Amino acid sequence: MRLFLTEKMNPRRLSRRRFLFFSAIFAFTSIAAWFMADLLWTNGLLGLEVALLVLFVILFAHVAAGFCTALVGLYVINRGGDSSRITATLPSLDDATLASTAIVMPVFNEDVSRVFEGLRVVFRSVQETRRLEHFDFFVLSDSNQPNQWIQEEVAWVELCKQVGGFGKIFYRKRRHSINKKAGNVADFLRRWGRRYRYMIVLDADSIMTGRALVQLVALMERNPHVGIIQTAPRIVNGETLFARVQSFSSRLYSPLFLAGLNYWQQHEANYWGHNAVIRIKPFIEHCSLPDLPGSEPFGGRILSHDFVEAALMRKAGWGVWLAGDVEGTYEEGPPTLIDSAKRDRRWSQGNMQHAWLLTARGFRPANRFHLLMGVMGYVSSPLWLVFMMLCTIHVFAQVTSPLAFSAERPGDYTSLFGFAVEIPAALTLFVFTMLLLFLPKIVSVVSALGRAEEAERFGGKRRLIVSGLVETLISALLAPINMIFNSKFVFFTLLGQGVSWVTQRRGTEGDGTDWREAIITHGGQTAFGLVWGVCSYIISPPFFLWLSPVVVPLVFSIPISILLSQGSVGRGARRLGLFLTPEETFPPYELKRLQQNLAECYRHLSPFEPLRADYGLMQAVLDPYVNAMH
């Protein structure tokens, strides 16, 4: 019996896997395109029809890619897992060898208590593995508020005193915040990178268990030709209804997609920027980010650096793996829909920059596909919007045409996407599209229900079913709202409007979106939905019914956003047993310890909340201890 596998699959076997995967995408897209073309042919293929067909093919291929990933993942899971995964190369951690590793956490005006209490939990967890001598910890601050610096410095000193971390936990404040997070990490690598063999990158909201960290380093030691191993962090600690729904959906549906991704990616996976281990030497030598031609937003510094760094690592011949089955890796998500949109605004510009790199010399086909899917993740929204607007125009043309639905037309006709079409053909295309969209969710729920222990971790079978149904409804409501958000972001980017680097709110912060912010943010969406809905109803009531799943959420986007942002509603859902995840029903020790530490920390800090905003800066001036430390 083989104790471990090679870190690279046989090229012929990998080619067969990729051929099957992309052939399935092509087959599903071809079937849908054939149905759509047949429906369009009923009305004649003119300029508008050709445009609609082209848009439909592009958008359906994007949907089919996600469905085929889940389909392949189902196949892998049902056969007991994929033997060709990076974690299969490490049978046991007991005798695993490690090497010097830096755990780096870039921060920018973050909640100081959350950053250092999270670091305390990670440090203690590594300490309990009795492998602490291999790890050093670095907080890399780009905070641009003087009060923030002082608080971070005080918190660092106190943490080191309490856990004996001097010489193991380091704090670095850059003088000049060049190139944001990527520049912060690059600055660390220039100064101290050659002291370490590996680097594990954490976000300010990341938590990783000591066992997970040891496992990642041991995997790198076991596979000397691997440059990056990316884990799949689970979203935790959400209080609002929005955060809880995102956490539940990610936890329930991700196993299918992760297994599917690993099936065809293998050693050409992607890097997501955090909760990953990196081999430092090749990263320094090959992953320096180039400046793109021109100025922002398309040119200049690369914002979404992680995809590009993975592509550069593969270009240099090093493997990049997705270790979706590594346990003990967590992060927090945005607490509200508006906070999620702010984050997407930043990601949108970064991903659209990748259009420059799709034809970059030396990149592997798999990495070009990753970059393309990153671009499509945002460009698909304005394409859907244009597609539906063209459908509306097409309906108007049909209604005003003297031949529209005339008695000369045989058969039973209705309106689908703006076309006068036969009901059986329209229904077939509709069912086929819905199948690709919702079958992965249904399969995930059924799969969890089939294992009693797994269903119990989600709160029980009945609660799991109800949570899955409500999550599907909420996702359907959010899809049109996010479509308008992303369309606006892409439009702003095309107009040359860049994005500033702002602090991201985390899942445990705040307790709701106020009406003023919601009206300012969603007011345009509401007005757009009202005008579009009224016009579509006047043009054709049947078409309005088809369009209602899009326009109704837009009209009610303000109350939807406010409802989802309420922490009280999220806590109420938890009391009812809705949207529970295994990390809540059976929380790991590290997450319980973090919550306990933060509760105690915030309780002691609460009397100081009304003090001046520059309280930390005053301490540096008036308190001799803080002054000397600073």
Residue 325: is its pLDDT beyond 80? yes
Residue 420: is its pLDDT beyond 70? no
DSSP-assigned beta bridge partners for residue 106: 140
Q: What is the pLDDT of residues 573-627, one digit of tens each?
A: 999 999 999 999 999 999 999 999 888 877 665 544 545 566 677 777 777 777 7
CB atoms inside a 10 Å sphere around CB 197: 18
CB atoms inside a 10 Å sphere around CB 585: 13
Q: Which residue has the higher pLDDT, 364 or 95?
A: 364
Pairing of the two strands 169-173 and 135-141 = parallel
Cα separation of 539 and 547, whole Å?
12
- Label residue 453 exposed, middle or buried (CB < 10 Å: 0-12, 13-18, 19+): exposed
Backbone angles phi, psi at 568, to 5 degrees: -65, -35
Residue 265: is its pLDDT beyond 60? yes
Residue 439: is its pLDDT beyond 90? yes
3-state secondary structure 76-143: HHHCCCCCCCHHHHCCCCCCCCCCCEEEEEEECCCCHHHHHHHHHHHHHHHHHCCCHHHEEEEEEECC
The pLDDT assigned to 495 comes to: 85
Torsion sign, CA atoms 238, 173, 153, 136: positive
The pLDDT assigned to 498 comes to: 66
Cβ atoms of 149 and 141 within 8 Å: the answer is yes
* pLDDT bucket at 107, cuts 50 / 70 / 90: very high
Cβ atoms of 411 and 422 within 8 Å: the answer is yes
Q: What is the pLDDT of residues 514-541, one digit of tens each?
A: 899 999 999 999 999 999 999 999 988 8
DSSP-assigned beta bridge partners for residue 420: 415
Residue linked to tokens 């884990």: 231
Residues in the chain: 630
SS3 408: coil
Question: Considering only CA atoms, which of 425, 197, 180, 207 is closest in space to residue 329?
Answer: 207
3-state secondary structure 196-253: CCEEEECCCCCEECHHHHHHHHHHHHHCCCEEEEEECCEECCCCCHHHHHHHHHHHHH
The pLDDT assigned to 431 comes to: 83
Tokens standing for residue 385: 């919007």
Cα separation of 600 and 99, whole Å?
35
Q: Output the average pLDDT for the chain.
A: 88
Question: Considering only CA atoms, which of 88, 71, 82, 78 is closest in space to residue 20?
Answer: 71
Cβ atoms of 105 and 139 within 8 Å: the answer is yes
Cβ atoms of 169 and 160 within 8 Å: the answer is yes
Mean pLDDT of 148-174: 92
Residue 405: is its pLDDT beyond 80? no
The pLDDT assigned to 1 comes to: 30
Residue linked to tokens 């809705």: 578
Tokens standing for residue 544: 């309005």
* pLDDT bucket at 56, cuts 50 / 70 / 90: very high
Instruction: Record the pTM.
Output: 0.90
Name residue 364's amino acid.
Answer: R
Q: Report percent pLDDT > 70 for the chain.
A: 89
